[in-house]
Amino acid sequence: MGIRLSKNLVQELLVNYGSPLYVYDLEVLRQTIGQITRAIPTASFYFAAVTNGNVSLLKIFQEMGWGLHANTPGDIYLARHAGFSSSQIVYSGSNLNSAEMRQVLNDGVTVLNFDSLAQLQQFTEAAQGFDLNFRLGLRLNFPALTGNNRIGIRPAEFAEAVSIAGRSNHKIQGLHFYRGTGTNATAAFTEAIEMVLSIGSQLPDWQYLDFGGGFGYPYRQGSAVFDWKLFGEVLLERVGRLKRKIELVIEPGRSAIAGCGTLLTQVVATKWQGNKQIVGVDTTVANLAVLAVHGGYRQIVAVRDVPELDDAAIYHTDVCGNTTYSRDYLGKGCPLPALQVGDTLAILDVGAYGYAMSSHFLHRPRPAEVVIDRSIGNGDSVMHRLIRRRETTEILLANQII
């Protein structure tokens, strides 16, 4: 998939903001949000901010009627800055300490899905004195559906959960299910629905089903594409058959935001090892950690005048970061033309778990982030705007006491 930026636009962006540079296409983001929303018209959508915490992008979700899924108090902090009200935030996370639990409640979040009985107990203690109408849910751990996973509560523990909540006059109204992570096989989701619904029916006060995130994104060209329309149809049909009315909550992350993001990087060195091209670029896996951490793949393309007419010879190319760290590869064996110092490469589909997972490992400052909006402007002129400044080396001393 991935968006293709014209060479002219790329040059303009690099002149204005430097390299490496995260670029987000707002039109693509809006289209994707619209497409997912239309697939399940009666569901409430909450964007999983774990994938991208840039407030300017979170605002787009807010404007388009989505809420925000918070994994951490930090997600809630960002959500509030993006303009989400507390009623537009769903907390589904893990292992808060008591101060953090109180913080979440102080922030006014009232929909909370817990992944252990201990966290539920912690909530009931923290919630004393709060005059709020809470909606509580349990994250499901059921190996046949959720795999061998540390997260969640087994159905055998549901009765205990109901009684922990009941002792403080709370009810368990939600079941949270996360099928993930990132599979494109629509059937992996649709085939789980029946069993999830029958487990949810074991909760006496069941009112909502949070079907989580984990919906895939086709990072590899030609790979299967998650079928939102089919998934929506099957989900609505099965939920409609239930004897009680169940509200649907969906927390997409990567599927909503991966495709709108590109990381631009410039070639700083080239060499050959036999037929293999070794290209050094001005970014590093610390700027795009998902590749080193999860062994992920992102397509890399050369920014050319007219890419589709480019009939240049193609070589197996390793795209290497600007450190000697043994895993500092942005891509291995990528099909790329012979490159020169100063050429630009675009690493596609990095909107999710891209900047959000970047770090100061290897002591390189983080790139800047910009948005482009093709709906503003005409022809070749595209609106662009900085949404996060490039870090400078001083950031490496931040909080150090010397």
Binds ligand PLP (CB under 6 A): choice among 174, 253, 261, 331:
253
- Residue 212 or 337: the one with the smaller Cβ distance to ligand PLP is 212
Q: Which residues touch 98 (CB under 8 Å, ≥6 apart)?
A: 122, 125, 126
Is 298 one of the binding residues for ligand PLP (CB under 6 A)? no
Q: Distance of CA 347 to CAs 64, 262, 306, 343, 389, Å? A: 27, 6, 17, 13, 20
Is 262 one of the binding residues for ligand PLP (CB under 6 A)? no
- Residue 254 or 384: the one with the smaller Cβ distance to ligand PLP is 254
| Contacting ligand PLP within 150-209 (CB under 6 A) | 178, 180-182
The β-bridge relationship of strands 208-210 and 247-250 is parallel
- Count the neighbouring beta carbons within 10 Å of the beta carbon of residue 159: 12
- Residue 239 or 258: the one with the smaller Cβ distance to ligand PLP is 258
Give least dist CB 352 to ligand PLP, A.
6
Of all residues in this chain, which one has the CB nearest to ligand PLP in the complex?
253
Helix/strand/coil for 188: helix
Binds ligand PLP (CB under 6 A): choice among 44, 62, 71, 287:
71
- Residue 216 or 331: the one with the smaller Cβ distance to ligand PLP is 216
Binds ligand PLP (CB under 6 A): choice among 54, 92, 110, 186:
92
- Residue 110 or 277: the one with the smaller Cβ distance to ligand PLP is 110
Q: What is the dihedral of CA 215, 96, 79, 74, to 10 degrees?
A: -100
| Contacting ligand PLP within 339-358 (CB under 6 A) | 352
- Count the neighbouring beta carbons within 10 Å of the beta carbon of residue 304: 17
Is 67 one of the binding residues for ligand PLP (CB under 6 A)? no
CA nearest neighbour of 181 among 225, 146, 154? 146
Is 116 one of the binding residues for ligand PLP (CB under 6 A)? no
| Contacting ligand PLP within 37-56 (CB under 6 A) | 48, 50-51
Rg (alpha carbons) of the chain, rounded to whole number: 23
Q: Which amino acid would we find at residue 253?
A: G
Give least dist CB 263 to ligand PLP, A.
18
Cis bond before residue 181 (omega within 30° of 0):
yes
In angstroms, the CA 255 to CA 226 distance is 9
Give least dist CB 181 to ligand PLP, A.
5
Q: Contact positions toward ligand PLP, by CB under 6 A?
A: 48, 50-51, 69, 71, 92, 178, 180-182, 212-215, 251-255, 352
